[in-house]
Chain A
Amino acid sequence: MFTYTIRRLMFAVPTLLVISFVIFALLDLAPNDPLGDLPLTIPPEVREQIRAAMGLDQPFLFRYLKWLQQFFVNEPLNILEQMTGWQFGDGNRMRVLSWATRSPVVDLIIQRMPQTLWVVGMAYVFGILLAIPVGVISAYRQYSIFDQVGTFVTMVGYSVPTFFTGVLLIVIFSSWLQWFPSIYDTNLVVRDWSSFIAQIRQMFLPVLVLALYNASQITRFVRASMLDNLSQDYVRTARSKGVKEKTVLLVHVLRNSLIPVVTVIALGVPTIFSGAIITEQIFRVNGLGQLLITAVQGADIPLVQTLTFIFAVLIVLFNLIADVLYGILDPRIRYD
């Protein structure tokens, strides 16, 4: 297992390099321009100079290599310096700078991390917590009223887009009832009871929207996996041995059913980091998803490049984790 992991990790390096090149090339070929949002009153000569100041007049390959150096050498050194207080060289390294804000991309990402992890991460956790019991009961009582209602709700939750449920909830709970704010305050610091309540209130609607969506997806997996296992021979054996129904269900069947579910959950973790672009935008959570979408709209290539590359790293990494977990959970599977 260990050698397998090492082999996979080594193989990830060229994969990621290729990914980074493909992303860079795609972004470069895309026709949108970082100056597209500027007022037309800014004359063409000035636009040329702004482009030059961004380094856009340099050849493609040069810009790609520069990004590689900034991302793989300068940024890690910078982080190391901040963590240890050591000084490497003169400390005057060119970092990856966003074109729209003219500030280091990594700082922007770190700044956006908390709200995304809170809102999107929480929604994922709640989604899982909700999905497992609902999935188990739905499968155990297949075609019961609970299953029918559950199937209906999960189908609705899965197929109705978040930009609809989000706005619907805002209209009901923010405009009519005025129970929850429609705008997320990223400046709020939880330091006492009342600010904690405020944090809960502002997280409620976006978490609800996303949790419904996540739960719907995972419930279907749990239910299907449970149904597969319930009809297996080992379940009949357990029952005929006189094992209590509760033990059959929660120990034998559930444990076996969760093996594929765990890998699905692990594969979904990177999407937490990529944020929920639409939901963040609707509630103005302004996390990583909103950062990515504004960067895409504004053709802020260094920011889009860095963010998408980090997501690529996470996806490759969690794919590996999912595979390893699968091996650990299921003794029948051996990679070596």
Chain B
Amino acid sequence: MKSLKILLAGTVAALALGGAAQAQRGTDGDLKILFWQAVSTLNPYLSGGTKEVYSSSMVIEPLARYDETGTLVPWLVSEIPTVANGGVASDMKSITWKIKPGVKWSDGSAFTADDVVFTWQYCTAPDGGCAQKAQYEGITKVEAVDPQTVKVSFAEPKYYPYGAFVGAQSPVIQKAQFKDCVGAKAPGCTAANFGPIGTGPFVVKEFKPNDVITFVANPNFRDAAKPAFASVTLKGGGDAASAARAVLETGEFDYGWNMQVEPEVLETMMKAGKGKLVTAFGTQVERINLNWTNPDPALGDKRSTVEGGKHPSLSDPAVRKALSMAIDRDIINEAGYGAAGKPTCNIVPAPDIYISTANDWCLKQDIAGANKLLDDAGWKKGGDGIRAKNGVKLSYLYQTSTNSVRQGTQALVKDWWQQIGVASELRNISASVFFGGDPASPDTFQKFYADVEMYTNNFDGTDPEKYLTEWLCNKIPAPANGWQGQNMPRYCNPDYDKIVAELSKTSDLKQRAELAKKANDMLTAEGAHIPLIHRGQISSTAVTLQGVRMNAWDSELWNVADWSRKK
């Protein structure tokens, strides 16, 4: 009943307000979106999954967000605070946001600084298990200076202060709705978690967890002419290939998220002419991590730890380089990624100012060169064609998560390594185990009970500082920290630690970029890992849908208010 009222109110508001503008709210009918991984909740603070972050971004919004070029754009604020305009304190210890006048929640109440303060309290409350807590790291206080002004203070000078309340991971929630849901009470507020009140272009009408969400246009949205669609149906479930078919071939849906399907399959489906693919490149890099420590099972508890000693063969820089030289990244891309990938030699592949070309030697496969490098380093081929030195064989266990593209890549790499006299045994582990991080399981990517392992990682937003700290000496996973470190290769170089420390004290963007490049070059050159593919996000849209600006820096649905039906 309530939702019906909202719907009616929305229609009336659309008729009353939309008349003058050239576009009108709610004139384009129903927008049908397909997420093959179904959405479990609409509270991104309780889930953290990409599907939850994206779907909720139509309802709840951050103060500022990234556009498709990775540029910060003011969203619920009038401008992006900088040192120049006085929004960021000169000591970099606080940032002040000015909320746009007239922003309303979908229930009609005013959006104020109190809501922003509450959002911070909600996510940092103890026992709440807030998944986006990292966005609020280093904040000592968030205060409402006046109803339109929010001041965020940091413990240490923060040279990139745009973390909290920026991007789809950190949207503002309504205090009135969530005030009794703080801390341990958070999961119990099912109605609020399934239907957050927001400032975005759409309002949740009905939420069926892990199945389908129905949204209707927000009658109180700040732009009277938007959104063009009267409602959105977001269906979930199935698999990527059949989702691609529903958009590209049968035309049952307008937008399909995450088309992780072999390029040739998509190619065939595109022939129906019902849809097209859209891609955007963020910071995801598919890489092979090399284990710098010894994963020998004989070591028992000391397996794959610094105490267990260096890896018998991967500790040789020549071996690490040869493994990278033997790989033809173009073929991997063609076979598994197509338009959704580009070969890369960097671990920080974007934004543009951070792109380094120092290691571009890796883009060209050089089997002969790799063979020579190994010959010179004293690794001699035995009767079985496998190289060895002092009784140590170049024979590796190569693990990754179960995924057809990854298994295809494994097979290709195995063949190339064979050609330089390196044997490899392939292994794949279910993603929920591999990435699960259960300290009791021997198969997690943190434990790294293998010689090499392959997966994708990235960083949120456009600033790589936090990401680059993952290769610090003190981030090495070990039994002492419950295997929870992020330095999977167990790379440790004091010079690298110094560069990252300097980065955290530098505020000039140009200098930051130089330092980040230096750190990136060091990691690839020294062979902490073998970068393979800069992965893009790929989604499909119906040819009748216009206004989609595919974004890898924020939610793909960030500008859903501007989407419309081609007439």
Contacts and interface: CB of A to CB of B under 8 A. Distances in A.
- The bracket for how many chain A residues form the interface is 35 or more
A101 B250 contact: no
Contacts of B194: 103
B485 A102 contact: no
B436 A33 contact: yes
Interface in A6-54: 31-54
B426 interface: no
Given A102-B190, A108-B209, A294-B210, A53 B432 contact: no
Nearest to A97: B187
B505 interface: no
B246 A49 contact: no
Interface string B471-491: 000000000011011100000
A298 B485 contact: no
Contact of A286 (B38, B43, B50, B214): B38
* Main SS at interface, chain B: loop
- Which has the most chain A C-beta neighbours within 10 Å: B208, B237, B433, B460? B237
B212 A187 contact: yes
B102 interface: no
B49 interface: yes
Contact of A39 (B37, B50, B246, B443): B50
Contacts of A299: 432, 436
A40 B438 CA distance: 14
Contacts of A52: 127, 129
B48 to A, nearest CB: 5
Interface string B217-237: 000000000000000010111
Nearest to B440: A31
B216 to A, nearest CB: 13
A201 to B, nearest CB: 12
Given A37-B431, A102-B46, A182-B246, A286 B212 contact: yes
A53 B184 contact: yes
A183 B130 CA distance: 34
B387 interface: no
Contacts of B403: none
A148 interface: no
B526 interface: no
Contact of B210 (A31, A38, A100): A100
Interface string B451-478: 0000111111000000000000000000
Given A47-B484, A52-B127, A178-B250, A32 B433 contact: yes
A40 B283 CA distance: 12
Interface in A216-249: none
B49 A47 contact: no
B438 A31 contact: yes
B49 A39 contact: yes
Contacts of B134: 41-43, 46
Contacts of A44: 437, 481-482, 484-486
Given A31-B436, A49-B129, A104 B190 contact: yes
B239 interface: yes
B252 A281 contact: no
29 contacts: A31-B438, A32-B433, A33-B432, A33-B436, A33-B437, A34-B436, A35-B437, A39-B48, A39-B50, A40-B435, A40-B458, A41-B134, A41-B458, A45-B484, A46-B132, A46-B133, A47-B484, A103-B194, A103-B209, A108-B210, A175-B249, A185-B212, A186-B208, A186-B212, A187-B233, A282-B238, A286-B208, A291-B210, A299-B436
Interface of A: 31-54, 97-98, 100-104, 107-108, 111-112, 167, 170, 174-175, 178, 181-183, 185-187, 281-282, 284, 286, 290-291, 294, 297-299
Interface of B: 34, 37-38, 40-41, 43, 46-50, 127-134, 184, 186-188, 190, 193-194, 206, 208-212, 214, 233, 235-239, 242, 245-246, 249-250, 252-253, 272, 430-438, 440-441, 443, 455-460, 481-482, 484-486
Nearest 10 pairs of A and B residues by beta carbon: A53-B129, A33-B436, A44-B484, A36-B432, A36-B436, A31-B441, A32-B432, A102-B187, A101-B209, A286-B211
Given A45-B133, A281-B237, 5 more contacts: A35-B437, A102-B43, A107-B190, A183-B252, A286-B212
